[in-house]
Amino acid sequence: MTGEPKRVWYPSVEDVIDANITVLDVGGDKHPHRLLLRPEAIQTVIDRMIKVETKGLAYQAAWLMKELVKLHAFDGANHRTAYLVAKMFLRRNGKRLRIARLEDAYLFISRLETKTVEQVQGWIEHGEGERSQRRVT
C-alpha cells in the first residue's frame, strides 16, 4: 500500500450524454435524444463538481444531480439522467445510492428542484425522503 489517496472518478460529457440515451431507451420515451445545449455546458458542471471534492462523494453526487437538472441539457429525461450519472459516479468511487432502483427513486428525483443539496445528500446516504410515498399502480 502506497498511502496515496485514491483518485476520484468523474463522469465525462460523453458519459452524461450516454446516460440520457440509455434512460430514454429503457424508459420507452417517445421523444428522441436531443442535446439542447453545447457539450461545454455539461463540462462546466463537471468541472464545478470537482471543486467541491472536499465535501465528500455523497455531497458531490447530490450537487451533480441538482446541477444537471437545473442545466436542462436534454429535451427529455433530465431528472432520470441526473440520477443515473450520480449513481454511476458513486459506484465508480466505491459507494452506492441507498435507493438502488429508479422506480423507487422517481418521486424524489422528479422534485429535485425543490430540494437543497443537503436534502439530496441525506437521501443518497440514508434513503430518506419521499421514497415511502411511492405511487402504487
The domain spans of the chain are 13-29+36-133
- What backbone phi and psi angles, to 5 degrees, belong to 73? -75, -15
**pLDDT tens by residue, 14-65:** 999 999 999 999 988 887 899 999 999 999 999 999 999 999 999 999 999 9
Separation between Cα atoms, residue 60 and residue 94, nearest integer Å: 14
Q: What are 78-113's pLDDT values in tens digits?
A: 999 999 999 999 999 999 888 867 788 889 999 999
The pLDDT value given to residue 132: 38
Architecture of domain 13-29+36-133: Up-down Bundle (1.20)
* Residue 74, strand partner residues: 35
Cβ atoms 13, 39 nearer than 8 A: yes
Cell of 124: 443518497
pTM of the full predicted structure? 0.87
